[in-house]
Amino acid sequence: MDTEEQEELDRSLESLQRVFAGILFCYAVLQLYSIYQQASSPRELRYRAYFMEDIDSWMVISADWVAVLVCSMAIVGLLHNSEHQRRWIWYSLFTGLRLAFFWLYYMQKMSRLRWDVLWLPFGPFIPAGICLYVDYLLTLSSSEVRKLRGYMYAFKAS
């Protein structure tokens, strides 16, 4: 690969990180909208009304805030360039897993499985796992690009 192709690959990998961060940001905005709707009129959203008998409104709002926190930690992990960036994504993954257990506990109390609420337990958890995988792939690709650069400079020097 020549220098321009390597730099283009670097830019495309960095833009991929920003795309995933944007998707997570959109999900966090959806959760903020859900918090607003739950606070203003709790029975209006159908996927929340299923749980009204089992869960207090403040618990649903708290779970949504935790989902926003999960998304925020994953975004910081994707966009923050430091040695601890992957740690943020792991925190996001484990917090999302706890949130998934919370929702699954209350979903199993329902009389029958509702497919339209299946995104509640897995909504924050799966994107955090995908972000961890994307970060791993980008780290692996970046190390390969660095090796190629080293080979290129060694070739030009000789």
In this predicted model, what pLDDT tens digit does every residue of 64-86 receive, in sequence order? 999 999 999 999 988 887 777 88
Mean pLDDT of 145-150: 72
pLDDT digit string, tens, across residues 5-30: 766 766 777 787 888 889 889 999 99
Residue whose structure tokens are 């199993």: 108
pTM: 0.80
What's the Rg (C-alpha) of the chain? 20
User: How long a stretch of residues is the chain?
Assistant: 158
Containing domain of residue 109, as a range? 3-157
Cβ neighbours of residue 93 closer than 8 Å, sequence gap 6 or more: 125, 128, 129, 132
Tokens of 51: 């749980």
Nearest-angstrom CA–CA distance, 93 and 95: 6
Nearest-angstrom CA–CA distance, 85 and 88: 5
Q: How many domains does the chain have?
A: 1
State which of 3-17, 29-43, 58-72, 104-118 shows the largest mean pLDDT: 58-72
For residue 155, is pLDDT > 60?
Answer: no
Tokens of 79: 């966009």
Alpha helices (runs of H) in the chain, residue ranges in sequence order: 3-40, 46-49, 57-79, 85-107, 119-122, 125-157
